[in-house]
Structure 1
């Protein structure tokens, strides 16, 4: 109903009914000849799908009128069936989601004035917000998510209830909290969502590393407001995403998470130096460790954890290039270490350059352009995506007459370094270098 009033196309239709799943399952199965699912059966929900002649998928979910709530210490809601449409709507999260059309007569049902709130961009609960959030604490996270997705603002009484009940979110499973965070970050306004998450106090519970970026800045020790800087970096990273045919299609969760977390190591590494200066030495390494820990706690998958923490760890890597352009060897190592994250790393690095000094900004941008051009040239001449020694492990053992063991591993690593330093040199030169290195090892022993 909300999307219909916002003139948004939707191929996902939600129905609610007084009938129980066993009463409408047969009808839904017959209609949904291209798909049927019942994972939500215990919550009174069944779903089905069918394809139109043009290939468009239409999905329908039907749910029995419901009245569910969390027990005081439970991570799963207790589900009971309700008796009326109005009662079912009263248990919805917000008034803008508590509207319906009765079928088949198409009577508009809006007992909580959701249409008015929709027109005014207001998020308000159908019932007392304290009761609503006590029944289902995840609704507090949904409020923040809708700020990001719809650009709405949270009505004052509802906002006050969230701030006073943030501890209640701790009973919700990490997976459900994570899913709301992901939807928020993939929205059109992720910055507004993060700011609402922080202002409400929810971030203190579900993502404490973010509000911790609001470092106190006194008159003697001045540095950028890290939280404000992070919000700017997030905005800039989103703006640097590409279309579907580009290397980082929007919306990109990996890049957005990395932008959000790239400086979370700063509070832990802040040191006050002489002359009123402040340092954050190794905040990239510490931040990568913190990123892994927080993402594990939120039950993100291992691949995403690896990618985001790698970007956080590498986000300062390029900065030395501005003062002194790298050798080809250093460029190869940068590409190798970034691996499939190369395009995202460059965008994160560009987004992180928020200086107001226009001369410095131009110098940095020119240096990044130069490095990217050099990478393109090296890619034309070399296979940078799969840099390996020109001799593999079996060849190394054959040439040196070795059995598998640690010496072979050291030889392989040396030949990889030689490849990165020298570029493609050909098999004969690689053999000479391998024998030279092996002879040197023997003399050292």
Structure 2
């Protein structure tokens, strides 16, 4: 992490301003609009923090090339913000107006302007109670962490750091502007956010912050699943998600938001015949990240790596000789994964992809020394579907043995499987295997209306495709008629 030196505070401030001058001119234009109407406008939050860290200033592009937000604080109320920016903004959105936030767009950039505010949860509510403030100082004091409680005026670029955020960045520590207890009582989600900043920026929470996190884990019960989900997704996409996850497990937060992960901390048996599943999982996650394309974190792969063994605690059985088995943990783990992601309101497509990987992560271990038939290889590709590339990475990451000879042998064996997949793909279409006869073909050939029988016939033809590959239309029809006779399905006269 590149942080500016504090040896010369004046030089540091000048360098901050220099970095912030890279903010798009539209931000200064917006500041002049507010000033002309008698209001103050300050750039706050991540843009200021990232300038100090030497990271690219937000506002250029976000994930996937989409424009990212520039966050501002103002003394103007939301209705006033809409009024004074009418004609300047090319688009506006009011989804957050109940929380004091107005969104604007201009020249491909997005701006979020939030009225000075304070917000706190009551003991029963899932939503913050928002009240407006009257000063920038009060607004900054109720922000989550000192590193996010700095501001720069626009267009003047006066730097405001009332709580030592710049010094905390230089020391690599995470603190709150107010007392940690008060901060987490105001918004318990900040407990998760602290772990995310540890994972994202490498900032270590100070001891009093950690103790407040630990003491208030139960407060997360009032936070909506969607907000918890969003923080966890950001944490998994961080530079070092393991650091954040270890913090959540250590302080007991994982027991609430990801109990299946915390449950993997199983005792190693006295003969050391199986690994600590939790430590193994974190290693798998690190190794999966190492296989990602540079600069392209893969959320589905990371979640699959984290959750692939969550079925082990429930399936652990002690067997003679001091050994331990986890039979069918991939099936149990898939179902547990689906329930957990559903509870967090994950999108269905993301959930389906992760569950497929969890379910299939053990399939390769039946490959042995390459004894699989071509039919088995086709099934492997078919069952993986669009997740095949991720499955390759997950399986390779799942090898955490310290025995170099064993690790090398497993790697060579998987190389062999990938080579066989490539060889089959060169000879036939296996990326999206389908029967050579469609459902319409089957109905026409057998004179059937849409029915369960058509589905059974198609399932048989898919199995035939797995076993025999591409055989041509004539041979496929002959197999369909053979199946029909075997199942006493009348065959129309040719």
Please, what TM-score do these two structures have when normalized by structure 1? 0.93
Counterpart position of 2:55: 8
After superposition, residues 283-298 of structure 1 pair within 5 angstroms as 283-298=329-344
CA distance in 2, matches of 1:31, 1:149: 35
SS in 1 for 2:130: strand
CA distance in 1, matches of 2:285, 2:371: 27
Checking the alignment, whether the CA contact within 8 Å between 1:174 and 1:297 is kept in structure 2 is: yes
Structure 2 residue aligned with 1:26, among 77, 83, 86?
Answer: 83
Corresponding position: 1:439 with 2:481? no
Checking the alignment, whether the CA contact within 8 Å between 2:357 and 2:391 is kept in structure 1 is: yes
Range with greater deviation from structure 2 (201-210 or 7-16): 7-16
Corresponding position: 1:231 with 2:288? no
Counterpart position of 1:334: 380
Q: How many residues get paired?
A: 432
Counterpart position of 2:74: 17
Q: Deviations over 1:99-134 (max 9, x none)?
A: 112345433222211111111111111111111101
CA distance in 2, matches of 1:139, 1:394: 56
Corresponding position: 1:195 with 2:246? yes
Checking the alignment, whether the CA contact within 8 Å between 1:221 and 1:278 is kept in structure 2 is: no
Corresponding position: 1:44 with 2:100? yes
Checking the alignment, whether the CA contact within 8 Å between 1:237 and 1:259 is kept in structure 2 is: yes
Range with greater deviation from structure 2 (183-192 or 5-14): 5-14
Corresponding position: 1:207 with 2:266? no
Q: Deviations over 1:139-189 (max 9, x none)?
A: 111101101110111110000000011000110000000000001011111
CA distance in 1, matches of 2:470, 2:154: 71
SS in 2 for 1:30: coil
Checking the alignment, whether the CA contact within 8 Å between 2:370 and 2:413 is kept in structure 1 is: no
Structure 1 runs not aligned, ≥5 long: 52-56, 245-249
After superposition, residues 7-406 of structure 1 pair within 5 angstroms as 7-9=54-56, 10-11=58-59, 12-33=69-90, 35-51=91-107, 57-220=108-271, 222-243=273-294, 250-406=296-452
CA distance in 2, matches of 1:334, 1:237: 20
Q: Deviations over 1:175-211 (max 9, x none)?
A: 0000000010111111111111111211111111111
CA distance in 1, matches of 2:458, 2:81: 65
Q: Cα distance 1:107–1:222, how it changes in 2: closer, same or farther (>3 A)?
A: same
Q: CA deviation at 1:323?
A: 3.2
SS in 2 for 1:287: helix
Q: CA deviation at 1:60?
A: 2.0
Q: Cα distance 1:418–1:132, how it changes in 2: closer, same or farther (>3 A)?
A: same
CA distance in 1, matches of 2:413, 2:142: 56
SS in 1 for 2:193: helix
Following TM superposition, the consecutive aligned residue runs of length 4 or more in structure 1 with deviations greater than 6 angstroms are none
Q: Cα distance 1:394–1:218, how it changes in 2: closer, same or farther (>3 A)?
A: closer
Checking the alignment, whether the CA contact within 8 Å between 2:370 and 2:417 is kept in structure 1 is: no
Checking the alignment, whether the CA contact within 8 Å between 1:75 and 1:173 is kept in structure 2 is: yes
CA distance in 2, matches of 1:397, 1:2: 65
Q: CA deviation at 1:406?
A: 3.3
Checking the alignment, whether the CA contact within 8 Å between 1:145 and 1:193 is kept in structure 2 is: yes
Range with greater deviation from structure 2 (379-388 or 266-275): 379-388
Counterpart position of 1:429: 475
In angstroms, what is the RMSD of aligned CA positions?
A: 1.6
Counterpart position of 2:460: 414
Q: Deviations over 1:72-104 (max 9, x none)?
A: 110000000011111101100001111112345
Q: CA deviation at 1:220?
A: 3.8
Checking the alignment, whether the CA contact within 8 Å between 1:322 and 1:363 is kept in structure 2 is: no
Checking the alignment, whether the CA contact within 8 Å between 2:235 and 2:241 is kept in structure 1 is: yes
Checking the alignment, whether the CA contact within 8 Å between 1:2 and 1:99 is kept in structure 2 is: yes
Q: Cα distance 1:29–1:365, how it changes in 2: closer, same or farther (>3 A)?
A: farther
Range with greater deviation from structure 2 (335-344 or 58-67): 58-67
Counterpart position of 1:54: none
Structure 2 runs not aligned, ≥5 long: 1-47, 60-68, 490-494
CA distance in 2, matches of 1:196, 1:323: 41
CA distance in 1, matches of 2:49, 2:449: 69
